[in-house]
Each structure stands twice: as C-alpha cells, then as structure tokens.
Amino acid sequence: MPKLNLKPAHLRLLLDVLTAHAPDAEVWAYGSRVNGGGHEGSDLDLVVRNPAHPDQPQKKLYRLRDALDESNLTSFTEYK
C-alpha cells in the first residue's frame, strides 16, 4: 500500500477532520501525494464515498469541505 506524503501533524489533523465530519465514509487519496511525486505545496486529492451506497453522494460533504478549508492544512483544493 502506498504511503501518503503528509507531515505527521497534518496527517493527524486530516484524520481528526475526517473522523469528525465523515465518520462512516470510505476515503481514498490519489495523485502526487500517493504516487511519490508530491511536495509540500502539492494538493491532496481525496475521494469520499459511502461504502454502503457507493452510487450515492456522501451526505453533508459541504461540512467536510468547510472543515478542511478552515483547518491548518495547506493546499486542500480538490474534493471529489
């Protein structure tokens, strides 16, 4: 399994935000932060889905977006 290229403090914060705002979601990271091409200014590409109903949008995704935007994390620009 590829390792997510985030500072430990940022990873903890990301996990806290996901636990608070998408506790039942399945979250996948992809892109440069996963494939080894990322750097400190790279964005983090995330897929957030409901594993019980993968064909339906994640409910209240806007809350997760807002929490990520308001967090101390840098460069979270793409949400799927």
User: Is 67 inside a domain boundary?
Assistant: yes
Q: Which residues contact 27 (CB under 8 A, 6 or more apart)?
A: 18, 46, 47, 48, 49
Predicted confidence (pLDDT) at residue 60 exceeds the cutoff of 90: no
Q: What is the pLDDT of residue 61?
A: 86
Predicted confidence (pLDDT) at residue 14 exceeds the cutoff of 70: yes
Q: Looking at the 3D structure of the chain, how many domains does it have?
A: 1
This prediction has a pTM of 0.79
User: Is 17 inside a domain boundary?
Assistant: yes
Helix, strand or coil for residue 19?
helix
User: Is 1 inside a domain boundary?
Assistant: no
d(CA 36, CA 31): 9
Domain containing residue 74: CATH number: 3.30.460.10
State the greatest distance between any 2 C-alpha atoms of the chain, in Å, as a whole number: 34
User: Is 2 inside a domain boundary?
Assistant: no
Count of positions (residues) in the chain:
80
User: Is 3 inside a domain boundary?
Assistant: no
User: Is 51 inside a domain boundary?
Assistant: yes
User: Is 22 inside a domain boundary?
Assistant: yes
- One-letter amino acid for residue 54 of the chain: P
User: Is 62 inside a domain boundary?
Assistant: yes
Question: Which structural domain range is residue 41 located in?
Answer: 8-79
Residue of higher predicted confidence among 80 and 3: 3
What DSSP state is assigned to residue 3?
Answer: P
